Each structure stands twice: as C-alpha cells, then as structure tokens.
Amino acid sequence: MIYAIGDIHGQAAQLDNALGLIEADGGPDAPIVFLGDYTDRGPDSNGVLERLIDGQAEGRPWTFIKGNHDRMFVRFLTQGWENDDRISSGLSWLNPRMGGLMTLASYGVGDGTGAAFLKDRQKVEKLSSVTIDGTPHSMQELVSKARNSVPESHIQFLDTRPLVHQHGDLTFVHAGIRPGIPLTDQDEDDLVWIRKEFIEDDRDHGTLIIHGHTALDHPVNYGNRVNLDGGAGYGRPLIPAVFEGRDCWLLTEPGRLALNPCG
C-alpha cells in the first residue's frame, strides 16, 4: 500500500488537509509519493517546502518527485532564467499564469503583482520590471533579492529530487513518459513537461503510470495511467490517493472513494 499526492502548487493549507486524510487512513508512518510542482500559483510555496523538508528531516517514508515548476524555480534562483523552451506560449515563469511571482511573494519578495513584460523577436516573454515596495526592480535586481530571501535548504531540496519512483507495478513521475521508450532512456524534459504524446496514448506501458502536471477538475484513472492533478493550483481541492497494487482509491473526509478506470 502506498499513498500519493498530486500537484500542490503552494497550497499549504490543502497540503495539511491531504496529509491529515492520509494519516487517518494509513497512520503517521504511511509511505507517500509527492508528484512534484510544490511551488507557484498558490499563496504559500515557502510553507509547502517547509512542511515537506521537515517531514524528510523527521525520517518519514516520503518520496518527492521533481516537477517542471520546481525546476523553473531553481533555475531562476541559480541561473537567472525565467523561460523554458517547453513553454510553447513563451510565457515567463514570473507571469501570473505561471505563478513565479506568487512564489517569491511567499518569501517576502514583493506581493505577487506589479510586473511588466516585453516580448523578444521570438515572442518569448521577458520581465521588463517589477515594482516592489514602490520601487521598480530590474530582472537582475529581482534575482538578487530572491537569492537573498530563499533558504539554501529549499534550493537544494528542489534541485536534488528524483524524476521517477517505482513501487511494484506502479511508476510515479511528474508529467508522464514518452511512450515506447524504456524508462531508463527517458528524457528529463519529457518526464517533467510531456503532455499530448503521453496523454493521448492509450497503450499499456507495462506499468501503471501515476502522474500530475496536466490539471483536471478531478483526478481520473485512465487504465494505463492515473492523473492526480485535480487543479489545486487553480483553487480546486488537493485530493490524495492510495494504491494497493493497481487498485486506486481517493481519500475523502467520509473515507475511501474507489477511482476505477474510466471508459
């Protein structure tokens, strides 16, 4: 038996509720796999990371997968990058739709608003300036302020997360896999970013893929994969799941709710 939690996206209160549901079902030492995207969009990415890091330090049997938003946050802090080639829209990580400014606000850097953007010739969005405490800041100034505000322990935690976790007949990953390619040969960009090629493929992957990344209104079991991103980053509930073999249940206040394959 193993538990899983999809994309948290800075929703610390939702995380606390999900952990409470898991403990009620499986006890305080229940093994949990977190599917990545701990940061961005929600109001308290800082608090989410503190809870996860504290749980790790306490020796809880928790496994943390790296998500694309976690990677973008680290790259912003360590390399000053605000863009990723896999974002087809060209949006900056700092754009409100991506949620980076909300993450920085949770560390006391600004209030999540006040950004102005320009687009280059390739239509890639770049921060022009952001107003913090009434003062415009350039990209370089924002990066410097963020580096001084985000604990090194948070950076190291996110940067050292695995991309895949296997448990029996289950494979946990953030976004999915490229179908037809052995797990050992998967590309990191696909593991944290893939969508269409994976979600439109209905073949059996030889293992049940448990993932998040593509936000739904509610978790769905597709038979060959289970998507646990129920849209917490957009204000919907964060619903944990429990697996016994390939059988899956969602955890709710009244108890377990079977998540049977659709179709």
Which residue in 237, 239, 257, 236 sits closest to 248, CA to CA? 257
On the 0-12 / 13-18 / 19+ scale of CB atoms within 10 A, 46 is buried
Residue 42, domain extent = 2-67+161-258
Q: What b/e sequence results for 115-141 when a residue is b if at least 16 CB atoms lie within 10 Å of its CB, and e otherwise?
A: beeeeeeeebbebebbebeeeebebee
Residue 17 has pLDDT above 90, yes or no: yes
% of the chain beyond a pLDDT of 90: 98
CA dist 194 → 46, 73, 177, 204 (Å): 26, 18, 7, 17
pLDDT score at 149: 98
For the packed helices 45-57 and 152-159, what is the interaxial angle rounded to 10 degrees? 80
20-33: average pLDDT: 97
Query: What is d(CA 122, CA 232) in angstroms, rounded to the nearest whole number?
Result: 32
Residues 192 and 63 in one domain: yes
Query: What is d(CA 145, CA 153) in angstroms, rounded to the nearest whole number?
Result: 17
What's the pLDDT band for 78 if we cut at 50, 70, 90? Answer: very high
pLDDT score at 121: 85
Query: What is d(CA 234, CA 224) in angstroms, rounded to the nearest whole number?
Result: 26
pLDDT score at 205: 96
Residue 13 has pLDDT above 90, yes or no: yes
What's the pLDDT band for 114 if we cut at 50, 70, 90? Answer: very high
Query: What is d(CA 143, CA 21) in angstroms, rounded to the nearest whole number?
Result: 37
What's the pLDDT band for 263 if we cut at 50, 70, 90? Answer: low
Residues 51 and 16 in one domain: yes
Residues 62 and 93 in one domain: no
* 26 found inside a domain: yes
> E-strand spans in the chain?
2-5, 32-34, 62-64, 115-119, 125-132, 135-137, 164-167, 170-173, 208-211, 220-221, 225-227, 241-244, 247-252, 255-258
Mean pLDDT estimate for the chain: 97
Residues 141 and 95 in one domain: yes
Question: Three-state DSSP class for 239?
Answer: coil
Query: What is d(CA 250, CA 195) in angstroms, rounded to the nearest whole number?
Result: 23
Residues 165 and 61 in one domain: yes
| Top-confidence residue, 263 or 69 | 69
Residues 231 and 202 in one domain: yes
> E-strand spans in 47-112?
62-64
* 145 found inside a domain: yes
% of the chain beyond a pLDDT of 70: 100
* 78 found inside a domain: no
Question: Three-state DSSP class for 236?
Answer: coil
Instruction: Look up the pTM and report it.
Output: 0.97
Residues 182 and 203 in one domain: yes
Domain boundary among 149, 180, 201: 149
pLDDT score at 256: 97
**Domain of 46: which CATH number?**
3.60.21.10
Write the pLDDT tens digit of every residue in 145-155: 999 999 999 99
Query: What is d(CA 154, CA 77) in angstroms, rounded to the nearest whole number?
Result: 11
pLDDT score at 68: 98
Domain boundary among 101, 116, 149: 149
189-212: average pLDDT: 97
77-86: average pLDDT: 96
